[in-house]
Amino acid sequence: MNLNLTTLRALVIDVDGVLLRGKQPLPGVAAFFEFLRARQIDFTIATNNSARPATDVVEKLARMGTPVAETQVLTSAQATALYLPRLAPNAKRVLVVGGEGLLQAVTRAGYELVDADADVVVAGIDLTLTYDKLRRATREIRRGALFVGSNGDKTFPLENDLAPGAGSILAALAAASDVAPTIIGKPERIMFDLAVERMGIAPQFTATLGDRLDTDIEGGVRAGLRSILVMTGVTTPAILAQSALQPDCVFADLNALRETWERAG
């Protein structure tokens, strides 16, 4: 382990594969958050899932006996809406390929949702994706609309399987339009920078806690954070052993992390 846990004052925590797998809570979630609060460790729950609004994460954790505030959750949809003014300062009209979370974030940010003549096409995971949606988005991108992706996850974990993620949809649009998207979510550092800014704690005292090397760990490293990997999601021991990118420490699950942190004092 290349990390002294006692130096940490904040965490950027992933959801799928760390707190939940599909709809099922993973071991030790409630006890882990009780530990963080007792130690006054700040946290932001940062998820690449753009399909559902932040309130959905809040409600899921509440049902697990883990109350968190909506301000402690940052979705890739929210990060996308927050970052759009920097990418396209004059944009007003947005075509969205995505779920309720992305639609809500874009409209709350003051953009008009359109099907044509868009300034920006924003795409994320869309569980009701149709060929017509892909066709319309491709047309707008080819016409010159900025192409932005909420995140590039090719898959996301279910209870016993991996399902196609937002990255799969972005790949289809990129292939059809010959334009690569600007991606906002992990492993880009934008979400991590926004989370650290929210908490007001320096990056050297903050760690990313996730289950994926290619999103959680890589993104945290890009943002100058320490890194903690749990083996309850996508990364397997074989993947970890073969990877050039290594986290500062690895734990079987949240219980193992909490117990080690407790012993550290």
Give catalytic residues, as residue numbers: 14, 16
* Joined tokens for residue 40: 């006054």
CA distance 57 to 52: 8
- How far, in Å, CA of 70 to CA of 32, rounded? 18
Polymer length in residues for the chain: 265
Residue 55's H or E segment, with its range, is helix 54-63
Q: What angle do CA 173, 215, 155 make, to 5 degrees?
A: 50
Residue 128 φ/ψ, nearest 5 degrees: -120, 30
> Of 259, 210, 187, nearest to 5 (Cα)?
259
Tokens of 220: 């945290």
Q: Token pair for residue 98?
A: 């995505």
Q: Are strands 155-157 and 206-210 parallel, antiparallel or unpaired?
A: unpaired
The span from the CA of 209 to the CA of 227, in Å, is 6
